[in-house]
Amino acid sequence: MKLSPQLLKEYQENGFLILPELFSAEEIASIREAMERVFSEEDEANIREKKSGVVRTAMGLHLRDALFEKLVRHPRLVEPAQQIAGEDLYVQQVKINVKAAFEGEQWQWHQDFSTHHNDDGVPEPLALNLHIFLDDVNEFNGPLYFFKGSQTFGSIATLHDTESTSYALWIVEPDKVKEVSESCELVSATGKAGTALIFGDCLVHGSPPNMSPWNRAIFSLILNPVENAYTQESRKDHHHHRDLTPVRALGDDCLLEMAG
């Protein structure tokens, strides 16, 4: 799958792309089955909510289940990423973020690059986050909020927040968020299950708690150019994978082959 020149231009201007219903209902059902398998495991890569104890993030998925091993090589993810970031990309991180109905916690305002740089020594903000909605995401169940075009501010997250939630995060402080808001429109990323989302390493984003009666699960694959790889190994492998083998796309029906 190739992005059109118009979509590539939109990505460069806004810092993100929303691709509605890129994956079929059958494919999403297969991904959700694999999600339930990994969520049921007692594994340190399953990170739980501070208050409720339910799984907030499950990481290292492609090393834990055969379906995710295929999904990280899916052409609908890999080929657009190669158009944006170059041919030789490695699998930096693979996870599912969940906001459970009624109790899913927030993600603070942040930029992914700050964690990649400060914790893993990634030199430049070249990595891409590729999401797939595993539930319908609406205005009420904790969608991602983006400041459109905020990648132009460069790296601005400076505070390491280890208290607010169960996942330590380098965050953008309120005064800087306010500054960004004065020139960048705030938008929410919503869509039906199967919708894909691509965004870059310096886009300022976050998400509110989920007090709705609907779950919100999102698959996330981070691909990073091999030449921009980590330079330090302070975090565990499921936070930042060490295998720098360039990812190569499989056939478009790779998930359906497994289901069959």
Task: Give the span between the Cα atoms of 129 and 48, in whole angstroms.
Answer: 22
Sheet holding 159-161, edge to edge: 159-161, 169-171, 107-110, 205-207, 144-147, 186-189
Q: Tell me: the pLDDT tens digits for 56-89?
A: 888 999 999 999 999 999 999 999 999 999 999 9
Q: Which helix (H) or strand (E) holds 196?
A: strand 196-200
Residue 56 has a pLDDT of 81
Paired sense of beta strands 107-110 and 128-133, if any? unpaired
Question: 255 by DSSP, 3-state: which?
Answer: helix
Task: Give the span between the Cα atoms of 34 and 31, in whole angstroms.
Answer: 5
- Which residue positions in the chain have pLDDT lower than 50? none
Q: How many residues does the chain have?
A: 260
Q: What is the radius of gyration, based on Cα positions, of the chain? A: 17
Residue 187 has a pLDDT of 97
Residue 39 has a pLDDT of 85
Residue 157 has a pLDDT of 74
Contacts 24+ apart (CB under 8 A), 49-53: 49/100, 49/103, 49/104, 49/105, 49/165, 49/166, 50/105, 50/165, 50/166, 51/103, 51/105, 52/100, 52/103
